Structure formats: structure tokens, C-alpha cells
Amino acid sequence: MKKTITVKVPATTANLGSGFDSFGAALQLRNTLTVEVGGNPSGYSGHSASPEIIIRGEGAGALPTNASNLVWRAMRRGFAAASLKKIPRVRIVMENAVPLTSGLGSSASAVVGGLLAANEICYNKLSHEKLIQIAVGLEGHPDNAVPAFAGGFCVSFDDKGRTGYAKMSISRLGIVAAVCVPDVDFPTAAARGLLPRSVKMSDAVYNLSRSALFVAAVSLRDGSLIKHAVGDRLHQARRMKRIPGADSAFEAADKAGALGVCVSGAGPSIVALCPTGAARAATRAMSASFARKGINSRAFILDFTDRGATVTTKNK
């Protein structure tokens, strides 16, 4: 029997200032992955076989369409975890809305989408928890992968090599994410390479207090706490030095009415947490700041969403 699997995975913004490698939230911008599965399970017999891959939208013409494609690599990892002996013939269509290497979780979206599609092919043999462990292993950190799966605002933690998390609703704060994506080449690997091996105790305490305050802000639905809650001394300053215009973009968004401003994930995107009425002014102000540095940018005003990745299947 032939079937079509559709997986929709949200963009994510990670760290949110103080919650380095722990905080992440899902955004209302989704990549759509469609996997058409052939009826003959012996179409491919090895995990290295490459299916037909079509990419539309973000990354079209740039992302690989061979066996190195991240969606397909994630699918193969899922097949192996589920002990699938023979891989069916598949056709993959990626419709990408999340900008690449932007700090908005494009790689996590690919990994999560591929794993969920593979699990559906394997009759959902893998548990939600197992899928998260695989995704975090592929990503190297949980802050994007977990909210891509689960939605909402997630606080992730490591427990003897296992990733756990708590999910809360950040949408109840009544804020949106005003996102500015500057045209700056800043791969995640390069961004992580800037991080120090150790930090001062005072800086660690600073981030501990701010991250706890962020959780309090979400719990109490108190947006007035956000300004201090996004404070950071662990990672943002080093990364912002590699993003021309970032400092002025922070200041511009703050003056435009943002409750708090931070680097989204590893960057280069800047996200301003805003009341709805201030979001447009914040994105315009940030874009103007980058323009003064001669840097083009794109702006998005995105709602937070409590809904994570979704899977639908149609049999033919």
C-alpha cells in the first residue's frame, strides 16, 4: 500500500538570553516535509541508498539532494533505531519556510521531521522519548530539538546522558517574537567555537538568576520581568562581535518598545520579545540598524505556539 506522510515542524528560538543550551520556544513558522512511500518494502535494501529529494523554498539549490541530506540522514537513523531491515522506496519533498543558518532551528526542523517520518514508516515503533534522545544526539544540544518536537517554551536538562524537559506556555505572556535575520554568514559551528571553556562564578550566578527569573515571568505571566530575564554573560557578547550591527539593533528594538532582546540561538538572528503593538516598530528599527552597516536583513513577526511537530498520513 502506498502512503503519503506529511510532517510539519515549527521554527524555534533557543537560549532566550539567559538559558544557554537549555531554553527553547516554538514559533509559528513551519517547514513541511512530505514523504511519499512506495508499496514495495524491498525498494531499497541498504541504509546508504539515496531517494529522490526535492527542495522548495529556503535552501533550494543550496541544500544537498543526495544521501548527505540531513532529513534523509535523520530518517536513516530512525530506521536503524527501529531495526528496519529493508527501507521502502520513498520520495522526499521539503518545503522550507525557516531560513537556513539563522538561529531559528532549521537543522532541528530537518532532524525532527526526518525522525518523525521514519517512525511513521516503522509503525511508530519508537517512543516520543526515544525520538528526542536521537534528535538531541544528532543536533548535539536540546534547546532547538525539544521545542521542535513538543512546542511551547521548554526547559531542557541532561540526566546522566538522557535529555529531559519541562514544557510551559509562553504564549500566555501575550508577547510575540519580532525577528530580524541579517544577511551574515555565521554557521552554528563557528558560533559555538567562540565560547569560553570556563566562566567566572559571578557570571554563572548572573545567568542562574536571570534564567530562573525567565521561568518566573512565564509562570506568572509577567512580561515586565522579561527585560532582566534575558540578561546573559555566558555567550551573547562573544557572538555579537561577529554580527555587525547587533549592538545597535539591540538598542533600537529596546527603544521601539521591546520587553527584552536577545540573540536567537547561535545567531545571527536577533529576536525582540514584544507586546503585539510594538513588534512592527521593533523589526523596522532592527532592520534600519543593520542597513546602516550596509547589511541587508529580513524581518518576521511570529507568534509563539504551544503546538510542536505534527504528523498526518494518507493511504492510497
CATH architecture of 171-303: 2-Layer Sandwich (3.30)
* Average pLDDT over every residue of 285-311: 97
**Cα angle vertex 290, ends 286, 296, to 5°?**
110
How many other CB atoms are there within 10 angstroms of residue 97's CB atom?
18
- Model confidence at 48, pLDDT cuts 50, 70, 90, reads very low
Long-range contacts (CB closer than 8 Å, 24 or more residues apart) made by 206-212:
206/231, 206/233, 207/18, 207/20, 207/231, 207/232, 207/233, 207/234, 210/17, 210/18, 211/18, 211/19, 211/22, 211/23
pLDDT of 151 > 90? The answer is yes
pTM listed for this prediction: 0.93
Q: Which CATH architecture has domain 3-169+307-315?
A: 2-Layer Sandwich (3.30)
Report in angstroms the alpha-carbon separations of 182 from 16, 20, 313.
18, 21, 37
- Cα separations (Å) of 13 from 17, 126, 274? 10, 26, 14
Q: How confident is the model at residue 239 (pLDDT cuts 50, 70, 90)?
A: confident
Which pLDDT band, with edges at 50, 70 and 90, does 38 fall under? confident
What nine digits make up the cell of 281?
A: 516598530
Domain ranges across the chain: 3-169+307-315, 171-303
State the average pLDDT over residues 153-159.
97
- Torsion-angle region of 282 (φ positive above 0: left; ψ -120 to 50: alpha; else: beta): alpha
Total Cβ atoms within 10 A of residue 247:
13
Helices (H), 122-154: 128-139, 145-150
Per the CB < 8 A criterion, the answer to whether 145 and 107 are in contact is no
The rounded Cα 191 to chain-centroid distance in angstroms is 15
Q: Given the C-alpha cell 505556539, which residue does it identify?
A: 305
